[in-house]
Amino acid sequence: MRSAVRMSMILAAAVLVAAACGGSSATTAPSGAATPTRAATPTPTELQPPPVPTNFRFGVVKVACPDYPNETCTQFPVVWSSTSGTDTWFRIWLAWPGNGETCGDVAGQARKILETAPHARSGQAIDQVFIDIDIDAEPCLWISAVNSAGESRRVDGRNDSSLH
């Protein structure tokens, strides 16, 4: 009899050890008892494309072309505001409208003239295209913000004579 009691105690101890170690056990929670739940593992916040820059302004300055010193090029000092993080850089886009065209008409023809360092809020871009451009044409510039998740939509700039 003594060995049967000892065997029952050993079996009960083995079940408790297995349950404490995460193994399966023969015991079940009483009916109606709350079953403990494991907290959900938080998922990292997914990186989103950056917000659109604001207050984008540019100047228009005629300068000697760096690669063609006898020609005149257009320099664009640019400034903007942004609430994006330090992992965001910016692209400046340019198009020259022709006779009767608006910036909206030539937006699809815009070409990138500057890509900044991360976290910049100003820059200088030079357009070295000096052939077939009306000297009095008003340039169209746009800016977009870029990070590893994507690119914001482009927003147009405002010509600011204080930046000339």
The pLDDT tens digits for 81-124 are 999 999 999 999 999 998 889 999 999 999 999 999 999 999 99
pTM: 0.69
pLDDT tens-place string over residues 8-46? 433 343 333 344 444 444 444 445 555 555 655 545 678
CATH topology of domain 54-163: Immunoglobulin-like (2.60.40)
- Please, which residues have CB within 8 angstroms of residue 118's CB and are 6 or more apart in sequence? 86, 87, 88, 89
